[in-house]
Copies of this chain bind each other. A is one copy, B any other.
Amino acid sequence: MYLQPRSDMYGGEEVPEYDSRLEFISGFTGSAGIAIITIEKALLFVDGRYTLQAQLQLDSNWTVMELSSDSWINWIVENIKTGNKIGYDPWLMKAKDITSLSCKINQKNFFLIPDENNLVDSMWEKRPKIFQNHPKNWNKKYFTLSVENKIDQLKINMKMKGLDALVITQPNQLCWLLNIRGDDLKYTPLFLGFLVLEVNGGISIFSRNNKKLIKNTYKNYLYSALIPFLKKFKNKNIAINLNYCPSIIAERLKLSNNKIIEDFTFLQDISTIKNKIEKQFIRDCHLRDGAAFVKFLYWIDRQIVSKKITEYQASCKLKEFRAKDKNFISESFPSILATGENGAIIHYRPEEQNSKIILKDKLLLIDSGGQYYDGTTDITRTIAFTDQPQEVKDIYTYVLKAHIALARLKFKNKTRGNEIDAIVRSKLWEKGLDYNHGTGHGVGFCLGVHEFPPVISKNISPALKAGQLISNEPGYYLENAFGIRLENLVLVQDSKVSNSQYLEFETVSFCHFENKLINRKLLGMNEINWLNDYHYNVYSNLEVYLNKNEKNWLKQKTVNI
């Protein structure tokens, strides 16, 4: 059998077209999955978000299987036969997965065969063009900490842990550390590469580009030179994140008896904590992004009266409003514009062909964001053009209560993401409502719109830390009917509620909620006060960006309830 995961060698959420091997062999376009291909069968393991989509996209050669933690490994354990050979590309399979797999089947007679000559590549004739892989030191003023300072901090912490080297396989950490960005991906301004930092030495970069593009002080190699390069490490302590690390790297390090340190999380932590100046950039960026979004909402509110607009057309218009900003780089992910029942498909994304005409009498869900030199945004609103049934208003109001619960929350230091998740959901549980996705994901600074840590979801997760940027996005979805999601980004801040260490959230996204959908009677005084304060701030912060008509419209949308 042969294993083909969705991920590329960097393991990020977004994969360049050049590396979209799983899509090429199966047609599946979701953001997570793994194929197991045997002589008789072709299986695609995808998680709950993607089962429906995979069934639509795959032809009859394929069988869709449920992906949940180790389910694909368990399938292999149950179906492997003596003498079977399991082939995989060791640049694509992650070290953690290969270790789990080999542990679980170690009592059987089988062969795990890493092969750098990827089987898919060998038959991919019209493969998309390779990405540029040109790192860029763009907009220096937005890099508020020098590379030297970052590397010094890192080395101090490496020394405290007795580390000899750190192998960075996650491009977002490489870009953060070196104050560079790139355009290797469509929605994330990343330069894709690996980095090795030696505590008593320099920095070596491994990518598809070995020209000295970054800085003369770094050594630049082709990525294939990484494995020979690692041979010099013997009996060393080397930090690496096995969840993201290609198995070929970990295997090479183990061969020379190096000790792999998994719990060095300093870089991961510090690279996700925004400093004071970055926070200012983020606030300003979100005001401009909020204004573009409000302009779009005003535009569609007017257009819908007389014109037929498709979801796709509207998404282009939304991008147009954002693109007027001088700092705009790209959208931060493909916009979700979903009318009526499409709103219930959590990862719906309108295509140029066949996208639906926006229905005036149904809810419209809009989830979108931008990449700017001074920040990354992500915002969701659910709006109505006409009066809606009481049940829909009530559910919208419960989702809003959940959103406000997080926005108002003060919490003890060390509170975990899953604990905050439960606090937010409990507002919906009260009426037997829930949603099948997380409450919040971390967001980078001109980096990935999904960044870990932090995370707020049902899965056990680390405590939140001051300086992180995270989404607040409870929702509710009724299949074949409608979807509601309300999302702002919030900064984790120290709280003054007590002398002990407490944290709270500062909402940085600004856009009104839909007053047509709010049932005031379901809100407590604290919630009403929060909403009125927020709406006051939406108007007073955004009016400077708006024309007269837009201002008048927003004024009405933000009156006290």
Show the binding face of A for B, using Cβ within 8 Å: 409-412, 414-416, 418-423, 425-426, 429-434, 458, 460, 495, 497-500, 502, 524
Q: Shortest CB–CB separation between residue A356 and chain B, in angstroms?
A: 29
Query: How many Å from the CB of A537 to the closest CB on chain B?
Result: 21
Q: Which residues of B contact A415 (CB under 8 A)?
A: 422
A351 to B410 alpha-carbon distance, docked (Å) = 40
The residue in A426, A430, A433 that gathers the most chain B C-beta atoms within 10 A of its C-beta is: A426
- Bound together, the chains give a CA A432 to CA B434 distance in angstroms of 28
Q: Which residues of the partner chain B approach A426 to less than 8 Å between Cβ atoms?
A: 409, 411, 423
Q: What distance in Å separates the Cβ of A22 from its nearest Cβ neighbour in chain B?
A: 30
Contact B410 A432 (CB under 8 A): yes
Docked-complex contact A432 and B524, CB < 8 angstroms: no
Which residue of chain B has the shortest Cβ distance to A419 in the bound complex? Answer: B422
Contacts of A500 in B (CB 8 A): 432, 434
Chain B residues whose C-beta falls within 8 Å of the C-beta of A422 in the assembled complex? 411, 415-416, 419-420, 422-423
What's the Cα separation between A426 and B492 when bound, in Å? 16
Interface centre among A419, A433, A497, A502 (most CB of B within 10 A): A419
- Which residues on B sit within 8 Å (CB–CB) of A433? 498
Q: Compute how far the CA of A231 lies from the CA of B415 in the bound complex, rounded to whole angstroms.
A: 47
CB distance from A54 to the nearest CB of B (A): 24
Q: How many monomers of this protein are in the complex?
A: 2
User: Are A429 and B497 neighbours in the complex by a CB distance under 8 Å?
Assistant: yes
18 A-B residue pairs with Cβ-Cβ distance under 8 Å, sorted by A, are: A410-B429, A410-B430, A411-B422, A411-B426, A411-B429, A412-B429, A414-B458, A418-B418, A422-B422, A423-B423, A429-B497, A431-B497, A432-B495, A432-B497, A432-B498, A432-B500, A432-B502, A433-B498
Residues of chain B with a CB closer than 8 A to A432's CB = 410, 495, 497-500, 502
Closest CB in chain B relative to A78 CB, distance in Å: 15
Q: Which of B412, B425, B458 contacts A434 (CB 8 A)?
A: B412
Residues in B with CB closer than 8 Å to A434 are 412, 498, 500
Cβ–Cβ < 8 Å partners of A419 in chain B: 418-419, 421-422
> How far, in angstroms, from A276 to B171 measured CA to CA in the complex?
57
CB-CB < 8 A to A420: which residues of B? 422
Across the interface, name the chain B residue whose C-beta is closest to A498: B432
Minimum CB–CB distance from A287 to chain B (whole Å) comes to 28
Bound CA–CA A541/B391 (angstroms): 38
Interface centre among A422, A495, A497 (most CB of B within 10 A): A422
Cβ of A504 to closest chain B Cβ, rounded Å: 9
- Smallest Cβ-Cβ distance to A503: which chain B residue: B429
Bound Cα distance from A415 to B458, whole angstroms: 8
Give CA–CA (A184, B79) in the complex, Å. Answer: 52
Q: How far is the CA of A434 from the CA of B414 in the complex (A)?
A: 13
Q: Do B410 and A425 touch across chains, with their CB atoms under 8 A apart?
A: no
Residues of B within 8 A of A502 (CB): 429, 432
A458 vs B415: C-alpha distance in the bound complex, in angstroms? Answer: 8
On chain B, the residues within 8 Å of A412 by CB distance are 425, 429, 434
- Bound complex: CA A411 to CA B430 (Å): 8
Q: 5 new A-B pairs (CB below 8 Å) besides A460-B460, A524-B524?
A: A419-B422, A423-B426, A431-B497, A432-B495, A434-B500
- Cα–Cα distance between A423 and B423 once the two chains are bound (Å): 5
A458–B416 CA distance with the chains assembled, in angstroms:
9
Closest B residue to A504 by beta carbon equals B429
Find chain B residues with CB under 8 A from A414 CB: 458
Interface core residue of A415, A429, A432, A499 (most chain B CB under 10 Å): A429
Q: What is the bound-complex CA distance between A497 and B432, given in angstroms?
A: 5
Residues of B with C-beta under 8 A to A524:
524
- A421 neighbours in B (Cβ, 8 Å): 419
Which chain B residues lie closer than 8 Å to A495 at the CB level? 432
- What is the CB-to-nearest-CB distance from A503 to chain B, in angstroms, rounded to a whole number? 10
Q: How far is the CA of A483 from the CA of B412 in the complex (A)?
A: 20
Distance, CA A473 to CA B176, complexed state (A): 46
Q: What is the distance, in angstroms, from A107's C-beta to the closest C-beta of chain B?
A: 12
Taking the nearest CB of chain B, how far is it from the CB of A354, in angstroms? 33
